[in-house]
Structure formats: structure tokens, C-alpha cells
Amino acid sequence: MTQETGGFAALDLNPNIVAAVLATGYEEPSAIQQQSIPIILAGHDMIGQAQTGTGKTAAFALPILNKIDVSKREPQALILAPTRELALQVATAFETYAKQMPGVNVVAVYGGAPMGPQLRAIRNGAQIVVATPGRLCDHLRRDEKVLSTVQYLVLDEADEMLKLGFMDDLEVIFDAIPATRQTVLFSATLPSSIRSIAERHLREPKHVKIQSKTQTVTAIDQAHLMVHADQKIPAVLRLLEVEEFDALIAFVRTKQATLDLAAALEAKGYKAAALNGDIAQNQRERVIESLKDGRLDIVVATDVAARGLDVPRITHVFNVDMPYDPESYVHRIGRTGRAGRDGRALLLVTPRERRMLQVIERVTGQKVAEARLPNAQAVLDARIKKLTSSLAPLVAEAEATHGELFDRLTADLGCSARALASALLRKATNGQALDLAAVEREQPLVPGVGAPRGERTERSDRGERSDRGDRGDRERRAPLPLAEGRVRCRTALGARDGIAAKNLLGAILNEGGLARDAIGRIQVRDSFSLVELPEDGLEKLLTKLKDTRVAGKQLKLRRYRED
């Protein structure tokens, strides 16, 4: 037995589980696994603070599998995940680690798939249920006793669950499972809302903390490039010319942007696909499988759609749109550089987003170096290198297999060998520019590259004037009419701070202790936001929210005077 094998064996796990883990290629337990597995095996409740990519799934999956009673055909372990992508990933991990444990059944329970088969799988004896909170509550409304045999509960990425507004659903689930259960909570951060859950629902939990955000991203080569908003797609296409990647995930903010960028990539011959919340679940699963097996090389995704996506092939992450907060940035670039692998992350920054870049650098404790788009010479060199690589394997036997045909063609066409070879190259490269002057004409209009400075400035000014005009219209819009019993409150946080309505909703629900229907409309403007709150008890609520932070900034809600 090797020393690394001894590492897993020394954790007191079932030898069949150890064998299944080693078969996946993992040889030595990570730090979170070394510390968490003995605690969970001993039956203690636990709070684990760890980032994506540290091996936390195996940290709870392996000891739970070790404790499962295969002879009992009933739900014994419940794992809650914030999104269906993460739920599917966790369920797949359990199935992988249980390959040499006959009789263990796992069911993934998530929205976007038929409810009937999921409920039947639970009732038919799946010992491990991996679920999203919302869909699981749908099942509990049909059968409130369906989880009455659960002995082990895991909350994976608990902070993300609360951000997505699942607090009420979690309370329903806590009430539906036995109070004597063992509970394990994993979270990248431990805000007061998470600590409150721990105080109410965990019994003398042990604490494990592994790696800060800074440590999570240090292994990843990071850089940023300054671009104008309307030049992002040309910039991405230019970067792909010179970046040597195996597989890549490109993050954008909107569903439409996933479609636009994926279409542009496909038009250039890349094997690319979009991944967003509007895509049917079976299609989403096919996209991820295609990325894993090499039928796809690039996925363009929104943050939520990519949650839980773990594909070893991913060598690059392109942040085409700036993330809403530093934590999202860390999660995004965590898609690459996993388990000791090399990774590269590039961030496109518009002039207005310089401030958010500084916030990311401050929170992660790392400087994101500035890079420039490759110039025409670099692009030309990369194209010729790729062409050389594609031709190299063919040269050895080409003369023997096609020499006579070449001689005949030169004779029939009455041309030189050089002229015929050039014509064939032109056909093979499909008209791609392979001389410096032609490549220079393709350069996108970005700072320091391409068009003369005056042309760039004129284009930029037009865009910025248009943006300012649009923003002014948004800022001047009159607030919507108020519902009875509600008042409108204002915060200085807005869209330019990377704030979305769901961020404000999650913060107020978690920190204010309100029911979801107590909060009315949330209107996010560019430089501020308006939130409708109950008039009864408002001052007490605002006091409670006094120290609440959203996207790293203080919320500072105040009553809004509309006169």
C-alpha cells in the first residue's frame, strides 16, 4: 500500500469506500477531508468553513456512506444544496464513492424534473437524498412523513442557500426530520444568519476552517484586461486565438448574453454552448456531459447555471462580465485550478468597473495583474503555430500517399508546386488571415489596440453619453404606488455597486427575520435602491439591519421621504 493510500485508509473508512475513492484518481485526502471525516464519523455536529474546490463534497460524503445501513431501505441521509447543478454533482459523487457498496441508492431531488419519479425513488428506499430546498418542500407538502427516518443532515453551501431566499424552506425541512439527527453545515462564509441557524439547529458543533479566499485563488494565474462594453465579444475571440486551453467556461451576467456569445463562438468554429436558467434540465445535463467528454470545449454560463459545475478539463475561466461581488469572483475562478491542477482566469473590465476590480483585489488579498489583448503579430504567430501542429503529423506520409496526385495537379493546372501548395493552404485555412496586414485589419477596437486613438475616443464618448442618458432616465423614474401598510426605504447601494434585487431580498430576510411576504417591491436603480417594508415595527427592523452588509458594503436602509 502506498503512503497516499494509507492516508485514506488511516481515516477509518470502509475499505470498499477507500477503493472507490482511489479509483477516481484521488490519492491523498485534502485538508478539509482529513479534519472533517473523523469528526463526522464520531457522530458530532460540525460547521465546516471551506471554499469551493477544497474537496468538501468527499469530506461529508465518505463518512456518511460509512455510516449508512444498507439493509434499511429508507432515507437515512439528506444533503441540501442551493442549486440543481450542485445537487446533481453531489449525487454523482455519492454514486461514485458507493460503487463498491451494493444496495446503496441515491436520488437527486430538484426543480425542472418530474416530481413523481423523485418521490417514488424516496419511498422505494433511497438511503441518500440530495435535494434543493424548494423542490424538497414541494414533496413534503405531498407527504410530510417522507423524511421521518433521516439520521444525517448536510447543508452544503449554506450561505448560498440563504442568499437565494431559502430560509423559510429550511425551517420547514428542519421541522420535518428527527431532532436527534446529526447535522453538518458547510459554508464559505459565516454571516450572522448562518450562525443563527447553527445556534438553533446544531448541538455543540465542532468547527473546521480550511483556507481563506486568498489561499483558494493563489494557485490560479489571474489577469484583467480593460475593454469597452461593446467590444467584449471581439476581445474574447482575440484572446482565444492565443490562449492554449483544453476546456473553458465563460461567465456572463444575463441569459441573452450566454446565447449571443455562444453563437459568436460557434460561428468562428469553436465547439461552444450556452448554459442558463431557461435551458431545459435534460439539455443542461447534456451540455455538462459534453464538456466533460470533449464534445464541447467552451460553455458560456451565468453564475447560477454554473453553480456546482466541476469538470477536470477546465483550464481557463473568462469573466466576460464583471461578477456582482468578490465572493462570486472566487466561486467563478474556482471552476479551474482544482485539486492542484493549473488554471488561468481572465477578467474583462470596462472603465466603470475599475472600482469593483479594486474591491476584488482587496477582499482576495491579491493583485490581479493587468494584461493587454494580443497584438496582430501574436495572433499571426498563434495561427501559424496551430497550422503547423495540424500539418506535422501528415507530412511524413503525405508524399507517399498523395505525391502522384500533386504532380498531376501541377501538370493539369500548369502551375508551380509553390502555387499549388499555396492554393491548398488557402482552401485548408478557410480564408483565415495569415499575413500581418490582414490580421491587423481584424483587430477589435479596444484601448491600446486597433483603431487610431481619435476613432476610439469618439466611439467611447458616444457610448458613455448614451449610458449616462439611460441612467438619468432610470434615476428620474417615479417610484411605484405603495401598498397599504407599507413604507418605502432607500439604500445608497444600486446597480453600479453590483447589487441585484435578490441580494437585497436575501439580506433583509436573513438579518431582519421577516417572512418573505412581508417585503414588497424592490426597485434597483443605478446609484440607489428602494425597498418596500412593513410600516409596523419599521424602526426596530431598521435598527436590526443597522450592521447588515451586501456585496461587502453597508446596507444603511433609511425611510424614504417622497415629498
Three-state DSSP string of 122-163:
HHCCCCEEEECHHHHHHHHHHCCCCCCCCCEEEECCHHHHHH
Residue 441, exposed/middle/buried by CB under 10 A (0-12, 13-18, 19+)? exposed
Share of the chain above pLDDT 70, in %: 86
Which strands sit side by side in the sheet containing 46-50, from one edge to the other?
106-109, 128-131, 77-80, 152-155, 182-187, 46-50, 206-210
Per-residue pLDDT at 219 exceeds 60: yes
Per-residue pLDDT at 179 exceeds 80: yes
274: which strand partners? 300
Number of H helices, E strands in the chain: 23, 20
pLDDT band with cut points at 50, 70 and 90 for residue 3:
very low
> What's the rounded mean pLDDT across residues 283-299?
90
Which of 11-20, 208-217, 361-370, 428-437 is modeled with the greatest confidence? 11-20
| Amino acid at the residue 186 | F
Per-residue pLDDT at 324 exceeds 90: no
Question: According to DSSP H, which parts of 337-435 are helical?
Answer: 354-364, 376-413, 417-428
pLDDT band with cut points at 50, 70 and 90 for residue 51:
low
Per-residue pLDDT at 165 exceeds 70: yes
**Coil vs helix vs strand at 350:** coil
Which of 312-321, 388-397, 445-454, 474-483 is modeled with the greatest confidence? 312-321
**Residue 274: its pLDDT value, please?**
92
Task: Let me know: does 307 contact 86? Beta carbons within 8 Å.
Answer: yes
Per-residue pLDDT at 326 exceeds 80: no
**Residue 342: its pLDDT value, please?**
72
> What's the rounded mean pLDDT across residues 439-464?
41
- Which of these, 268, 276, 227, 215, lies nearest to 250 by C-alpha position? 276
Per-residue pLDDT at 129 exceeds 50: yes
CB atoms under 10 Å from CB of 116, counted, come to: 9
Helix axes 192-201, 501-512, angle to 10 degrees: 40
- Which of these, 442, 440, 499, 456, lies nearest to 227 by C-alpha position? 456
The DSSP output letter for 449 is B
Domains, in order of start, for the chain? 3-211 (3.40.50.300), 215-374 (3.40.50.300), 377-442 (no CATH), 486-559 (3.30.70.330)
**Residue 443: its pLDDT value, please?**
56
Q: What are phi and psi of 79, to 5 degrees?
A: -115, 120
Name the one residue in this structure whose C-alpha cell is 472600482: 355
Task: Let me know: does 47 contact 95? Beta carbons within 8 Å.
Answer: no
- Which of these, 96, 201, 105, 215, lies nearest to 154 by C-alpha position? 201
**Residue 189: its pLDDT value, please?**
81
- Indicate the range of 94-98, 456-460, 483-487, 545-549 predicted with least confidence: 456-460
> What's the rounded mean pLDDT across residues 329-348?
79
The DSSP output letter for 516 is G
Q: What are phi and psi of 298, to 5 degrees?
A: -135, 130
**Residue 262: its pLDDT value, please?**
92
Q: What is the CA radius of gyration of the chain?
A: 27
Mean pLDDT of the chain: 82
**Coil vs helix vs strand at 263:** helix
Task: Let me know: does 469 contact 409? Beta carbons within 8 Å.
Answer: no
Task: Let me know: does 523 contact 500? Beta carbons within 8 Å.
Answer: no
Residue 35's contacts (CB-CB under 8 Å, 6 or more residues apart) are: 208, 210
Pairing of strands 343-349, 558-559: unpaired
For the segment 470-493, what is each residue's pLDDT rounded down to a tens digit?
344 444 445 566 777 889 999 988
**Residue 465: its pLDDT value, please?**
33
Q: What are phi and psi of 244, to 5 degrees?
A: -90, 100
- Which of these, 96, 121, 99, 97, lies nearest to 108 by C-alpha position? 121
Cell matching residue 257? 448574453
Higher pLDDT, 78 or 474: 78
